[in-house]
Amino acid sequence: MHEVLIDVTRLLGRFLQGRLPTGVDRVSLAYIEHYRPRARALVRWHGVGFELSRPASEALFQRLLCPDARHRPGTRKLVAHGIVTALGRPRSSGRLLINTGHVGLEHPGYARILAQRQVRLVFLLHDLIPLSHPEYCRPGEGLRHRTRLDNMIGLASGIITNSRATLADLNAYAQDAGRDLPPTQAALLASGLPSVAPGPRPVAGPYFVFLSTVEPRKNHWLLLHLWRHIIADLGPAAPRLVVIGQRGWECEQVVDLLERCEPLRGFVIEHARCSDSELATYLHHAEALLFPSFAEGYGMPVAEALSLGVPVIASDLPVFAEIAGDVPEYIDPLDGRRWREVIEAYCPPDSPRRAAQLARMARFAVPTWAGHFARVDAFLEMVRARSDR
């Protein structure tokens, strides 16, 4: 396998800001882990792409894979020195540049980077949600994402998607726009959680986990109101709900419920910052992962729960069936009555319904990174060979 460049600008920025990794970030970290023996880091600054040396790239990869707040000042110096050193280094050409973070392609500077470095871009597309569901995104994000897609189609030598569902959306977008796509490859993602041993049970009694950034698309509002009704009917016997994820945008009503709704106090537990070991522990002991999202390009928490042998109750989205087959319980994201029925059915220690899902899970092959990168490696070799003709 030839050497590749990996655009780490998004990961680097979030690390320096002290932010926890999102699902997109976990995918980017998996790419670093896989390609680091034959990769260099590309950092964009003021519209210019700087390729770090192999030693500097390896040092930066290690800090991104094993983040430690104490290393932030040193990382700034490492990158600054790497940029200065890169200014005097001859530019090699012909390599592939992998962008896994949806960042940078809305700016015309990306085309300049490709021209200056004579590299070929391979882009990982996570979703088209800002176009298909703009009501769930920040204002203006739809226009920015359209620009990303148009630049990607025009600039990329290849496009990887995280699912056949996302690829179908991309094909439909290109057809509507009258554009021809570069070569594409769908490759399911695996769990982004590292392999860590779970700790002791963190919550007494039955509980469920909702793992997601707090934003309108994820449908926290439904579960919180549903929990209020469950508490009113069951009192102290009501199950607990553990909400894990950082607070995002336009989620004021959900935040009000989390902070000011007295009936939820003690029954809904919010963890905005949760380490990987804590997350693995919460998932491991949960009755199920709840994922009532309105729209997803993939849905990393579903893969993470299944990889740990944890049942899943999720929205009836096509991409979840693509990931998990018939294993989870699928429910319309607006059908509160059905959500409550299934949740309560999973609460008893000897729940037949939960046991049935565990039995389905036993014969299910969870998506793996080995499977993902087998597809991606072959795709990259095809893109390289095609470009060399």
Question: What SS3 class is residue 96?
Answer: strand
* pLDDT higher than threshold 80 for residue 152: yes
| 25 close to 364: Cβ distance less than 8 angstroms | no
Average pLDDT over residues 276-294: 95
Residue 275 is predicted with a pLDDT of 87
The pLDDT, as a whole number, for residue 89 is: 62
pLDDT, tens digit, for every residue of 65-98? 998 889 899 999 999 988 888 776 656 567 899 9
333-371 pLDDT per residue, tens: 999 999 999 999 999 999 999 999 999 999 999 899 999
Q: What's the angle, vertex CA 191, arms to CA 186 and CA 193, rounded to 5?
A: 145
pLDDT reported for residue 93: 64
User: Residue 92: what pLDDT?
Assistant: 59
Q: For the sheet with 4-7, list strands across it.
A: 48-51, 39-45, 4-7, 96-99, 120-125, 156-161, 184-186
Average of per-residue pLDDT across 168-191: 96
Give tens-digit pLDDT for 91-124.
656 789 999 988 888 887 777 777 777 789 999 9
Q: Mean pLDDT, to the nearest integer, of 189-208?
A: 90
Domain architecture of the chain: domains with CATH: 4-190+369-388 (3.40.50), 207-362 (3.40.50.2000)
Task: Fill in the DSSP letter of residue 107.
Answer: S
User: Rounded CA gap, 270 and 277, in Å?
Assistant: 16
Amino acid at 92: S
d(CA 203, CA 207): 7
Q: Residue 175: count other Cβ atoms within 10 Å of its Cβ.
A: 11
Q: What's the whole-model pTM score?
A: 0.91
Q: Kindly tell me if the per-residue pLDDT of 274 is higher than 90.
A: no
For residues 298 and 301, give the distance between their C-alpha atoms in angstroms, rounded to a whole number. 9
Q: What proportion of the chain, given as a percentage, has pLDDT over 70?
A: 98
The C-alpha angle 159, 372, 195, rounded to 5 degrees, equals: 130
Give me the pLDDT at residue 228, please: 96
Phi first, then psi: give them for residue 154, nearest 5 degrees: -80, -30
* 4: exposed, middle or buried (Cβ count in 10 Å: 0-12, 13-18, 19+): buried
pLDDT over 60 at 153, yes or no = yes
Provide the percentage of residues in the chain whose pLDDT is more than 90.
Answer: 71
More confident residue, 113 or 132: 132
Phi-psi region of 102 (alpha: psi -120 to 50; beta: other; left: phi over 0): left
pLDDT in tens, 237-271: 999 999 999 888 778 888 888 889 999 999 999 99
Q: Is 150 exposed, middle or buried (0-12, 13-18, 19+ CB in 10 A)?
A: middle
- pLDDT tens-digit readout, 211-232: 999 889 999 999 999 999 999 9
How far is Cα 40 from Cα 17, in angstroms, rounded to an integer? 22
